Structure 1
Amino acid sequence: MSEVRTKILVVDDDPALRQLLADYLNKHGFDTLLAPDARNLDTLIQRFTPALLVLDRMMPGGDGAEALRTLRAQGEDVPVILLTARDESVDRIIGLEAGADDYVGKPFDPRELLARIQAVLRRKVSSHAHKRNAPITFGDFTFDPVMRQLRKHGQTVKLTGGEINLLEALLQSAGKPLSRERLMTLARDDEAGERSDRAIDIAILRLRRVLEDDPKQPRWIQTVWGTGYRFSP
């Protein structure tokens, strides 16, 4: 059975630096993905679902801080470490205001970047653990992630294991579009085996019949054309 490695997306216009970071991070147990600029950054994140993004502040043809600001406005909460010029404190301030979780000044020792990546990921895991255990209430429903139960007016709503997985994935990413491919991964039910695009659509339809007053005009689970689905809080 192959080891599941944490994905890191590195976006920097310097090919030598990108390869240096790829070699170093891969050596320390990460699966490193590389991009030369911030164009189509949202698509890359949806496709590869990295656990963390290392993003250069200044790149020809693109501003890393502005790209980050756009991601945050879209509801994307992937942790971001910004690479900034060592002597430009204004770059660090702009980056943090745009939504960066941390920053590293250039030039830097890869060991420093590794330590900051590990620290940010630890904070993210701790935050997610707390968030994932808290009951989520919407409309007449409450979802309990610990008991893995959906309740309406205190009564348990019967759902399959795969439907529970799918609902939890949507709720934990509320406001954020999730591709069918991503949902197939998050909603996989060991008893049901692999899921197809069609199976996800059918499961969404079943959830809408449970949650929505009018499944044809959904309030909670909305279709994002060309992408997948999003839970609208």
Structure 2
Amino acid sequence: MNRPPVEPEARLVVVDDEPNIRELLATSLRFAGFEVHSAADGASALRLVRQVDPDLVVLDVMLPDMDGFTLTRRLREKGQHVPVVFLTARDDTSDKVTGLTVGGDDYVTKPFSLEEVVARIRAVLRRTRPGEEDADEATLRYADLELDDDGHEVRRAGRTIDLSPTEFKLLRYLMLNAGRVLSKTQILDHVWQYDWGGDANIVESYISYLRRKIDAATPGPLSDGVGVVVPVPLIHTKRGVGYVLRLPPGAA
């Protein structure tokens, strides 16, 4: 008797210029229940992402034609906010920081275990897919900050802010708990949802980049008609405790 086809857990694109690693990853991820498409360079990956519209990209940082960071920037510039898990050749803090800056969602250091790659992919998918808990809150507002869950858009004082899927979920968690100090552990558990003890430093890095985007000065008119608009800071650090979204004392 023919069995009905099994619906894949998610559609992935794997990008790595080393054939052995690429094929090993693709085969292992298919065995884990994913639909997998693969590419050996950045140009092919850009075309493939456009063609198959994946749920997530597993992306080697070192590629022959462009690095993974440049590829991610190009995806974001084209309006493609697919989650990205970087594969890095070494445990280099600068690589990790760059990956977070350009909109990556996680990273795995080579050599890696296949179980770790699968676990991290599933963790990213859980935190970036819609329809999770609190889905009834379609639009969140705090002060002049607005988060549209359905449209996956964030605006501050009418200015649209471009966020990666993980930055979006982090901001959403802060907005749902506005005025409440959240510890790194709480944020890590809710936003990253690791199945093991994750690196709490990733929270500090993401808070820093999110703060730069949300609380950033922008060009705008002042009394003389030119200058910058400096918004009231909303994301604050409670030293030794955690982070909180709130208006500073005395702000309207």
The alignment's TM-score, normalised by the length of structure 1, stands at 0.54
Q: Classify 1:42/1:129 alpha carbon distance in 2 versus 1 (closer, same or farther; 3 Å).
A: farther
Q: Does 1:111 align with 2:118?
A: no
Separation in 1 of the partners of 2:122 and 2:106?
11
Identical amino acids, percent of aligned pairs: 40
The one-letter code of the counterpart of 1:2 is P
Separation in 1 of the partners of 2:44 and 2:77?
15
Separation in 1 of the partners of 2:132 and 2:52?
20
Separation in 2 of the partners of 1:4 and 1:108?
27
Partner of 1:3: 6
**Which aligned segments of 4 or more residues in structure 1 are displaced greater than 4 angstroms?**
126-133
Partner of 1:205: none
Structure 2 SS opposite 1:83: strand
Q: Runs of 5+ in structure 1 lacking a partner?
A: 137-144, 146-167, 176-233
The one-letter code of the counterpart of 1:4 is E
Match of 1:78 among 74, 79, 82: 82
Match of 2:42 among 28, 38, 63: 38
Superposition CA RMSD, Å: 2.8
Separation in 2 of the partners of 1:87 and 1:45?
27
Equivalent residues in 2 for 1:166-177, closer than 5 Å: none
Partner of 2:64: 60
Q: Does 1:96 align with 2:100?
A: yes
Give the deviation of 1:4 after TM superposition: 2.1
The Cα offsets for residues 129-151 of structure 1, whole Å up to 9 and x where unpaired, read as: 76796269xxxxxxxx9xxxxxx
Separation in 2 of the partners of 1:33 and 1:129?
30
The one-letter code of the counterpart of 2:30 is N
Q: Runs of 5+ in structure 2 lacking a partner?
A: 141-148, 154-159, 161-252
Structure 2 SS opposite 1:32: strand
Separation in 2 of the partners of 1:34 and 1:132?
36
Give the deviation of 1:30 after TM superposition: 0.5
Structure 2 SS opposite 1:65: helix
The one-letter code of the counterpart of 2:72 is L
Separation in 1 of the partners of 2:48 and 2:55?
12
The one-letter code of the counterpart of 2:118 is L
Task: Looking at secondary structure, tell me which structure has more helix per residue.
Answer: 1
- How many pairs were matched up? 143
Partner of 2:126: 122
Equivalent residues in 2 for 1:109-188, closer than 5 Å: 109-126=113-130, 134=138
Structure 1 SS opposite 2:129: helix
